[in-house]
A and B are shown apart, each in its own frame.
Chain A
Amino acid sequence: MELQEIKEITRKIVLEIIVLNNKTDEKPAKLEDDDSLIDGGYIDSIGAVELIEECVQNFDILIHPAELSLENFDTINRICQFIQSKLDENHR
């Protein structure tokens, strides 16, 4: 899967979770790929769990508890990098 495609899917997942999380119909006006999602208050701890479930299902990857961290999940860019490394691992 190309990085661009991963990014599109990830963005979609993230936006859906923010909408669900904030119980609002509105998507955040602008969400940059480097915006802090969890630390910056877009997604709470429950949203983070949902986010990970969605990534597992959409990309068909297995995530180890030791990989769950802000370092891998706090921004759209970081999530994409993480997913790509997981997909590369699967191919090897």
Chain B
Amino acid sequence: MNLIQQITQVFSRYKEKAATSHYVPPNSLITLTYGQLEERVRELAQFLLKQGMQPGDLVMCYMTKSLELVVSILAVMLNGGVCSSFYSKQNPQYALKLFSIANPNFLLLEENTLKNVKKQMETIDSNNPFPLCVRYPQVGGTGTSLQNHNRAIYILKYASGEGNSGKRFQEVGNSFDNASWCLFTSGSTGTPKGVLISGEDLLRRAMIEIEDYELTDQDCLLSLLPFSFDVGLNQFLSCFLSGAHLVILNSWFPKDILTTIRSRNINGISSVPSIWAETLAYPRGPDFEQNIRTLRYITVSGGDLTKNQLVQLRQYFRDAKIFKTYGQTETFRSSILKPFDFERKMTSVGRSVKGTQVLVLNDKGEITPPNTEGEIVHYGVGTMLGYLNDLEGTSEKLREIKEPVLGMIKEGKWVFTGDRGKMDEEGYLYVLGREDGMIKTLGNRVYPKEIESCILEHEHVKNAAVVGIRDERKGQAIIAEVVANGALDKPSLIGFLKERLPYYMVPSEINIVGHLPMTESGKIKYTTIKERYEERRFLQDHS
């Protein structure tokens, strides 16, 4: 049975049970039971078929996280389409860039994004009338309605996508017919890439998550992350496969998160370091323990916290299990640190996930000895099919190993992650940083993460980002942007770093900023910071 068949089976098994809610603290809540969800999904799926949707069509959902988005995604999957979701707050220029890369057959929009896209399309080509769209009424639900939410779904047959069904995937020279999702990753180059994933793989990923987090139909999970991010998507799928309840919250304020845990009896949260860092800075009230008593597990995914923060997180959520996961969009989840290992190995990202093989290779393609640095490579569950319309990029990232170098390396497709890391004697993986983020300064190789961890040890620092920019004298100069937590002065921070780091790792420039540029999944946008300083350096050099 395939993924969507399994989900529809859950629909009929749990008809009366809550499937998903959209919560706006403190008192707006709208809920769909599994029975209602199934009804809406089937209705929208039929509606899409009437508009001409066919299996294999690429359908992009450009919407806020809402019940309508949940219904849209499942309807596209039910029709055998390739679904892709991205965030509504992305700028419309970016949206159009994605459309031109992906060439979708249909767009599913909400009122805001429809207006944005329409305006943008007409600016580009005023002679080309905006493609027709049809309106599908909002899916509604039971509960206190959310005020002033126009949640109708607009279906737009994307002009240039017409008649292209099926062709798109052959263009990359592979048979991607079994693609079921397309996740967009901005990548280090800044050009978005569409990562294609098969339905079978999505199912395997979700089943492994259900096993690892021990999900059951009794669970109520908090959805903080977008479905356009692999961690958020996997939470979505594993929740519906296990008959659990998914509560959508579109706020990262610690107060809202804690209110939701208490009032909705949340058991599990999949989250990213930046959300936890904010939460740790939030004062615990006298009722804190009581308020989070239902919380069974939390995850730190899509990045890492410093050792200090991990220790604090352990103390903060004393009774919850903490999982740490590591992966990238092209591999989904390579490793997992399970709760029983947390105390002993918290600075690692754990061991390879079931169904995968993860290795660290040197420049010659050989497995490195324990605790020796190399590139992290991934095989097995989570491996992408390839990049959408990008044969060259695919063959660069996804390499066939035909003649195993050492007996240990499996034949087949391996993802070369571009992440540097090392593995200890027991197989625990430590991630050092991105190959392309590595700073070469005064003849030394430095990972921004090493410096950031040290800056974050300072009591008045909330967040930090380190980049290297071109420098004639040093090769690269190290620049740090720091978000203060209380009274922070630069000289004391520099003194603090000089005591703890070798001279070449102390940033040549530190700037205290209000906040760092972030992606929708809470990761620091290093390219934005880097560009800002390189541009400034260029202007200085040429003035």
Contact = CB atoms under 8 A, between A and B. Distances in A.
Interface of A: 21-24, 26, 28-29, 32, 34-36, 38-50, 53, 65-71, 73-75
B36 interface: no
A24 B91 contact: yes
B514 A69 contact: no
A65 B251 contact: no
B89 A43 contact: yes
B454 interface: no
B515 A50 contact: yes
Nearest to A23: B91
B147 interface: yes
B490 interface: no
Interface in B115-153: 115-116, 119-120, 146-149
Given A38-B251, A70-B253, A26 B64 contact: no
B200 interface: no
Nearest to A53: B514
23 contacts: A24-B91, A24-B92, A24-B116, A26-B116, A34-B147, A39-B64, A39-B146, A40-B112, A41-B63, A41-B89, A41-B250, A45-B252, A45-B518, A45-B522, A46-B517, A53-B515, A65-B255, A65-B282, A67-B255, A68-B253, A68-B254, A68-B255, A69-B251
Contacts of B514: 49-50, 53
Interface string B504-519: 0000000000110110
A73 B25 CA distance: 11
Given A38-B251, A41-B113, 13 more contacts: A22-B89, A26-B119, A40-B148, A41-B88, A44-B89, A46-B518, A53-B515, A65-B254, A68-B255, A70-B24, A70-B251, A71-B25, A71-B26
B335 to A, nearest CB: 27
B24 A46 contact: no
B130 to A, nearest CB: 15
Nearest to A56: B514
* Size band of the interface chain B makes with A: 35 or more
Main secondary structure of the interface of B (DSSP, over half): loop
Contacts of A26: 116, 119
Secondary structure class of chain A's binding surface, majority of residues:
loop
A32 to B, nearest CB: 7
Given A45-B522, A65-B283, A39 B148 contact: no
A35 B26 contact: no
A75 B24 CA distance: 12
A85 to B, nearest CB: 16
A39 B64 CA distance: 8
A50 B89 CA distance: 15
A31 B396 CA distance: 46
Contact of A40 (B64, B255, B282): B64
A79 to B, nearest CB: 14
Contacts of B487: none
B224 to A, nearest CB: 9
Contacts of A41: 63-64, 88-89, 110, 112-113, 250
B93 interface: yes
Contacts of B518: 45-46
B539 interface: no
